[in-house]
Structure 1
Amino acid sequence: MSKAEERSSLLSNCIYKNPNETIESRVKDLLSRMTLKEKLGQMTQIERTVASPFVLENLSIGSILNGGGSVPMEQASPSDWADMIDSFQTCALKSRLQIPIVYGTDAVHGHNNVYGATIFPHNVGLGATRDADLVQRIGAATALEIRATGVHYTFAPCVAVCRDPRWGRCYESFSEDTEIVRKMTSIVSGLQGVPPEGHPRGYPFVAGRKNVIACAKHFVGDGGTDRGINEGNAILPFNELENIHIAPYLDCLSQGVSTVMVSYSSWNGSKLHSDKFLLTDILKDKLGFKGFVISDWEGIDRLSQPHGSDFRYCISSSIKAGMDMVMVPYRYDQFLDDFIYLVESGDIPMTRIDDAVERILRVKFVAGLFEHPFADRSLLDMVGCERHRELAREAVRKSLVLLKNGTDPKKPFLPLDKNARKILVAGRHADDLGYQCGGWTITWHGGGGKVTIGIFKDGVCWHYLSTTILDAIKATVGDKTDVIYEQYPSATTLADRDISFAIVVVGEDAYAEYLGDNSELKIPFNGTELIEFVAEQVPTLAILISGRPLVLEPALLEKIDAFVAAWLPGSEGEGIADVLFGDYDFEGLLPVTWFKIVNQLPMNAGGPSYDPLFPLGFGLRCNMDSEPTN
């Protein structure tokens, strides 16, 4: 018998290898067999580009991730992803104790790193729906697409309560209102599955192979920083932090969320990545969280200036504060060398290491990774499937917020006439899938253009779908309607008296995190000027594609006939046409306050001097029998 066979025979009799044993027994047994080096390896998460066979087989690395835009190859197929991740897993299972890796990705509005996957509206749009069941179904659909590619773990949902739209991650927040965010945490049960009645709060739960490990983020107060600065400082007393920002985590814990990611930001000057009071005393001890706490990308590096210059201090302060897994992601060799030194020198106690590794192993056992470490390729046809795209289309319909509909209540401008003689469509966002999807789409910050493709397979062949707003309009109107598109229409075009009305679609560039911090919040690409230019000559509907409210000049609102906030709707533009032309009515309600001028910010419902342009919860209906909601 070879050494490999001897080891396999030995391990087959271990408690931790027996799925019939309790999870806690398996955790205890495996932990007792691990060396210090193996324990610290489990606490290490590395980027896929540095995950060599040697590293995985010899260092007992606990987790691999891909950064935004880090892909196996350009336009990689779902099976390409599965092949890559399975190859990593094969190497990990050659390690001494055969502990599987957990592979993580930022699937924050669908499986958004994968070409051809369904891209759902970003969270701000989902918050406008107020539909917890819809959001749970989106979580379940996303989980299927994630698991098809071999990924086990998504860094979602973001349960930040965005108190200032100047924040570059505003679109990752469901709302400025804590209760709305709490309602939308139902996505956790969609991703992980619904835990059985009586499941202990704080104990991780993953239902099976069609579900994924979820991650509530970013703990805590990331949406409440001063002036909305990304990675900034939330200046507020603990009772406000608890009531506004911690509250959604209670709902996540009740649903068995398996991991929690720490925020880059600070609370009253204390960096969250080294805040023992919040990470250990509150999250773990008071709230009873039994899953693992993970850092953000190079998050511990922010604990010294320049970033990571005193790496041992960064490691020590974060681990002792309660960090369980560190998203390194590249310099794992220095991380592990320094980490071993800190433990062997007595700076970091072994009790803290054992606690962290117990938590990581618990999640791996709960998720069934020891029994099913590889991709379930029977799910591959679920990626971008028609059913998921119809779900995304439903989400788009329900997320649209109608802010103006004509000047005479008895003569609403919407719904539009499908049989109009000629429709002018203008604005670069009308036919740009990348801007429609926003950040965290194929790449980290996203971008304009055909960044992905709308496809689904019916079991026989691939179908290519129209997904931009322009394509959706063309597919909706009657055969005799002429739809003309000019990004920037000329005066000659606008002088055409056959034009029944114009649809002008403007909005933001794609961005993510600090790239989106914005102190002015003006409509980019001369969007205001374009709308006014068209509206002066043609009856006009304006649609705003954005991750947050932007400045709407009084003159602009006065000139246009109707205005729709469409947020960042994702890949299914048909959902917008469904509502514009009256197949469905508007349902969306503002998830955030729409300010008049930037100088009012921060301004939230219930606060002092609340004087919005449109209040939280505002949304009109086309059906005149239905009163505006406020």
Structure 2
Amino acid sequence: MKRFTTICSLMLAGSVGLMAQTKKAPTTSALDKKVDAMIASMTLEEKVGQMTEVTLDVVSKTGASSHQLDDAKLNEAITKYHVGSILNVSGTAYDRQHWYDVISTIQTVAAKDRLKIPVIYGIDAIHGVTYTVGSTLFPQEIAMAATFNKDLAHKAGEITAYETRASYIPWNYSPVLDLGKNPLWPRIYETFGEDPYVVKTMGAAIIKGYQGNNVGDKYHVAACMKHYLGYSAPLSGKDRTPAWIPDRYMREYFLPSFADAVKAGAKTLMINSGEINGVPIHSSKYMLTDVLRGELKFDGIAVTDWRDIQYLYTRHHVAASQKEAVMLAVNAGVDMSMVPYEYTFFDYLVQLVHEGKVPMWRINEAVHRILKVKYELGLFERPVGNPSDYPKFGSEEFRAASVQAAREAITLLKNNNNVLPLKKEMKVLVTGPTANTMRSLNGGWSYTWQGEQTDKFAAAKNTILEAIQQKIGKDNVTYEEGAKFDSLANVDDAVKAAKKADAIVLCLGELSYTENVGNIDDLNLPDAQFKLAEELAKTGKPVILVLAEGRPRIVTKADNMAAATVMTYLSGNEGGDALADILFGDVNPSGKLPVTYPRYANALVNYYRKNLENGNSDDSHGYNPLYEFGYGLSYTSFRYSNLHLSNADLKDGQTLKISVDVTNSGQRQGKESVLLYISDLYASIAPDTKRLRGFDKIDLKAGETKTVSFNITPADLSFINDQSKSVTEPGEFKIQLGDQTQNFNYLSTKVQAARTGKL
């Protein structure tokens, strides 16, 4: 065991952040002074109104054949309750003109209120502007992670921000920075995967794309990092169910993405709907104030998720009434309540302030954060955008960026005897439940919450079937459904067609879903899909298994029967075309798995496992995934060589430069994601087998060699110890790049001085 530690950063488990529990410290910037001056002129009711967020349905007519705002309801919301924010979750997508009419009307009414404070409108544009017709939909975050290309994440953020502002909306509830550890969890496709380094790196990149250098210009939006904290690890795998996460573990794996998002300048944050160790996060002063404000130094808006203050009473049972729930949440650190259907939050909070149960300084603190973001977004000067400012909305330029992202995401997992790429003159059977629906390419949050109208709104885009038909001609393609998602269809017809084909493209996976709707009791794909695979395999024709899914469902039986396996994830509106490009060799696949793909339903272990999870000579049930995190094939080959370290040892205050040569040793151009793993061989806390500490993506022509370099400091080798402190311990570390490995030592000068008595 190592007996000495060097503290790289200190994250106390409760003793910091106490200043945030007292009156807000004086502010000095010109903007802060402007905000404080406005707050000084506000009534309590006007302040509490700014903390209130309702859904669009609250201010809309009911029973109308198409969406219409209700003037009386809108006036009540803004002039009586002074509502500061409205969000959209209505059941359809609108064109830009309708969005202009909606936002303009809301802001016109807001301008009639006494202080003329604009409303901040928010929307879940998590892979493009999901509620606007004609927008550019990118691959979901899980697929973006598979690109291992942070430049693509930044570009997707920029385009999504542009098109969100083109919809006259300044606030995007994205990115999801949850750690996608549990494949059962239905929102894993909204994450950047299971690795903390990938999540924090891709998350920071997309935030910078959303917000740009000036979040207040007409092309950028306020990002919202979510869901703080630990939402993605429910013990049961079901959405919004309890998690049990020790503080040390929380800080090691879940907190880094939010810490880096704060450093990237994220303006807002959405809170985890669940509970951890029995404590709902919406009532956790420790999480929302001590850690978030005291340690991370976040000073933006903390908004609840859907109805989550009410749920402190009705679901979590930590409050004995709705009024007590409001008191707990606001005192814990909530700034804005996504109520979302009525005004009880407003009424209760006003009462609580009068009763002295919520201090006025806490109200002023929350309102200061809300108004400051509104000023930073330029809403006081420009509450509604100019329609003519967005000529690139839905443009070919933006579509091309989505195509590139999908191409770099799609991951080739298996390619026996180089069966891929297929020849374009081949006769191909396309079959399976995901073959001819855009819902399985886009997933949830696509035009609607559950994505159930995607085939309607994305009718001009190509399904997998349509993309293959366009690629090689309809005469060369036969389509039979074969099976639905959970039952067989015309499997006999599919088998007959397979016997006449040269190859079978078997498309399995999932229909669109999100949140509770996506909860499942079995990670295995439904039996009907396996039955279709089995019957097709009997024909002896090569089966190309295509997986269109939001999480790694168990497909081991189907994979065993396939000649090739391709993972498309949820690759967006251009995913069908991107897949056809790869299947027929016009594009060389370069995606790598951002999750560990399990072999069995009960063998769910992440790649950064502990050594005890590897198994031993007497244990046949150790770590044995179907495909490991970071795995992905190409139509060319890459050779790693000349791994070089700038020094044999790393010392305090130094940077270790690590370089490796990567050669395209195959016959065609290809892209390679170079992944740097480092293993701490011995530590006072059982170390992970290995951890990703850097990545880069390069493009190599056949025969070309490039040198890829990484810089590592002692802080990059740190872990959270049993006192919740981030430490780097002296000792031996192992570097792995491709098949190249090399060891080095970290030598702490402070530890050496302590040992010799010279400290």
Interval of TM-score (by shorter of Structure 1 and Structure 2): 0.7 to 0.9
Give the match's secondary structure for 1:598. coil
Contact 2:414 2:564 in 1 (8 A): yes
Offset, 1:22: 2.5
- Aligned residue pairs total 578
What corresponds to 1:221 in structure 2?
A: 230
What corresponds to 1:233 in structure 2?
A: 242
Contact 1:418 1:481 in 2 (8 A): no
Offset, 1:214: 0.7
Offset from partner CA, 1:579-621 (integer Å, 9 cap, x none): 1111111111111111111111354433323321111111111
What corresponds to 2:412 in structure 1?
A: 402
Distance 1:603 1:24 in 2: 45
Distance 1:98 1:189 in 2: 30
1:504–1:277 CA distance, 2 compared to 1 (3 A): same
1:405–1:372 CA distance, 2 compared to 1 (3 A): same
Aligned partner of 1:430 among 410, 427, 435 = 435
Aligned partner of 1:467 among 462, 465, 469 = 462
Offset, 1:490: 5.0
Offset, 1:536: 2.1
Contact 1:144 1:379 in 2 (8 A): no
Aligned partner of 2:307 among 298, 301, 304 = 298
Contact 2:508 2:546 in 1 (8 A): yes
Matches within 5 A, 1:462-501: 465-477=460-472, 482-488=476-482, 491=492, 494-495=495-496, 498-501=500-503
Offset, 1:577: 1.1
What corresponds to 1:338 in structure 2?
A: 348
Contact 1:586 1:621 in 2 (8 A): yes
Contact 1:142 1:191 in 2 (8 A): yes
Offset, 1:38: 0.4
Give the match's secondary structure for 2:430. strand
* Larger Rg belongs to: 2
Offset from partner CA, 1:163-187 (integer Å, 9 cap, x none): 1111111111111110010111110
The structure in which a higher percent of residues are helix is 1
Offset, 1:433: 0.9
Distance 1:425 1:53 in 2: 54
What corresponds to 1:311 in structure 2?
A: 322
What corresponds to 2:385 in structure 1?
A: 375
Matches within 5 A, 1:95-494: 95-185=113-203, 186-194=205-213, 206-305=215-314, 310-332=321-343, 334-406=344-416, 411-420=417-426, 422-447=427-452, 450-453=455-458, 465-477=460-472, 482-488=476-482, 491=492, 494=495
Offset from partner CA, 1:184-221 (integer Å, 9 cap, x none): 11100111114xxxxxxxxxx61511001110000001
Contact 2:433 2:481 in 1 (8 A): yes
Give the match's secondary structure for 2:457. coil
Structure 2, unaligned stretches of length 5 or more?
1-28, 60-73, 483-489, 615-622, 639-663, 666-671, 674-737, 739-759
Distance 1:490 1:614 in 2: 29
Answering whether residue 54 of structure 2 is matched by residue 46 of structure 1, we say: yes
Distance 2:391 2:463 in 1: 23
Q: Which moved more, 1:379-388 or 1:79-88?
A: 379-388
Contact 2:556 2:626 in 1 (8 A): no
Offset, 1:238: 1.2
Aligned partner of 2:88 among 61, 66, 85 = 66
Offset from partner CA, 1:383-433 (integer Å, 9 cap, x none): 322222111111111111111101xxxx3011111122x211111311101
Distance 1:22 1:213 in 2: 20
* TM-score, length basis structure 1: 0.88
1:298–1:329 CA distance, 2 compared to 1 (3 A): same
Give the match's secondary structure for 1:567. coil
Distance 1:309 1:48 in 2: 29
Contact 2:271 2:304 in 1 (8 A): yes
What corresponds to 1:606 in structure 2?
A: 609
Answering whether residue 554 of structure 2 is matched by residue 548 of structure 1, we say: no
Offset, 1:522: 2.0
The structure in which a higher percent of residues are strand is 2
CA RMSD of superposed structures (Å): 2.0
What corresponds to 2:709 in structure 1?
A: none
* TM-score, length basis structure 2: 0.73
Q: Which moved more, 1:99-108 or 1:537-546?
A: 537-546
Answering whether residue 636 of structure 2 is matched by residue 623 of structure 1, we say: yes
Distance 1:214 1:480 in 2: 44
What corresponds to 2:732 in structure 1?
A: none
Distance 1:367 1:289 in 2: 17
Contact 1:148 1:378 in 2 (8 A): no
What corresponds to 2:79 in structure 1?
A: 57
1:449–1:327 CA distance, 2 compared to 1 (3 A): closer
Offset, 1:380: 4.8
Give the match's secondary structure for 2:294. helix
Aligned partner of 1:28 among 28, 33, 36 = 36
Offset, 1:624: 4.2
Amino acid at match of 2:332: A
Q: Which moved more, 1:506-515 or 1:524-533?
A: 524-533
Contact 1:161 1:175 in 2 (8 A): yes
Matches within 5 A, 1:525-540: 526-537=528-539, 538-540=541-543
What corresponds to 2:735 in structure 1?
A: none
Distance 1:273 1:183 in 2: 26
What corresponds to 2:24 in structure 1?
A: none
Distance 1:594 1:79 in 2: 44
